[in-house]
Amino acid sequence: MIGALFGIAVGVLTIVFAVMIHGQRWLYSLGLLTLPSLYAFFALRVGDPAMGATEMIYGVPFIVAGLVFALVSVRHSATLVGTCWIFHGLYDLTHSQFLTNVGVPGWYPAFCFSVDVVIGAYLVWLSRKIPNANLRQA
């Protein structure tokens, strides 16, 4: 429960920070790149480089999406990037059903899910607020 509350706070602070630095055009897309690396870091921290590599392989869709949306102007990118964040949140909740990464702290899935859903929901809301929202224009 505490992890989820901290996750919500971090999600909101991330949005505030992105708005303050006018980083909404790139921050959320590049943020997708970091998501798999955190799971890989947890594996490496406990001395399991094979699991670290596996985590990065599972994270390829998020890495590709992050690169594409950060570098290419795509119509409706706010909706698509937001959807990727929400999908990663769902991945956080089901991660242990796919992989056994003993380095992942017990609080982390709820924390990361909360961060991901807050950011994803904000981006989807932003895309509805600004028709044809594109992170390069938002």
As a whole number of angstroms, the distance between CA 26 and CA 93 comes to: 26
**How does pLDDT run across 105-126, given as a tens digit for each residue?**
999 999 999 999 999 999 999 8
**How does pLDDT run across 76-100, given as a tens digit for each residue?**
788 889 999 999 999 999 999 999 9
Q: Is the pLDDT of residue 138 over 60?
A: no
Cα angle for residues 120, 112, 134 (degrees, 5° grid): 20
Q: Output DSSP code: residue 137.
A: T
As a whole number of angstroms, the distance between CA 102 and CA 61 comes to: 23
Q: What is the pLDDT of residue 131?
A: 62
Residues 6+ away with beta carbon under 8 Å from 135: 24, 25, 26, 28, 29, 69, 77, 78, 81
